């Protein structure tokens, strides 16, 4: 991921538009599938929140700016609403 400087908004936008992130086989979609398209925080509270209830986002647990090597690691991602 050295091609991106995640401290720069333009590079973050380029990353989030990349096929590695957003593509059909991108890590974003894989995380959504693993989390059954449900918010993991809501699920921990016994609620079910899906894309039908609001916007789901794939969040980096360890932020890109500080941990760029984890940008595409599936275990560093979670689905939130």
End-to-end CA distance of the chain: 26
- Give the other-Cβ count within 10 Å of 18's Cβ: 18
> What is the sign of the dihedral through the CA atoms of 4, 63, 69 and 36?
negative
Q: pTM of the predicted model, to two decimals?
A: 0.90
Q: How confident is the model at residue 2 (pLDDT cuts 50, 70, 90)?
A: low
pLDDT beyond 90 at 39: yes
Torsion region of 26: left, alpha or beta (phi above 0 gives left; psi -120 to 50 gives alpha)? beta
| pLDDT, average across residues 65-69 | 95
pLDDT value of position 54: 85
pLDDT value of position 1: 60
């Amino acid at each position: 991921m050295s091609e991106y400087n995640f401290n720069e908004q333009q590079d973050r936008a380029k990353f989030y538009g990349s096929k590695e992130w957003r593509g059909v086989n991108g890590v974003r979609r894989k995380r959504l599938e693993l989390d059954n398209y449900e918010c993991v925080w809501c699920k921990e509270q016994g609620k079910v929140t899906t894309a039908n209830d609001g916007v789901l986002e794939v969040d980096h647990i360890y932020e890109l700016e500080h941990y760029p090597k984890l940008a595409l690691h599936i275990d560093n991602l979670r689905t939130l609403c």
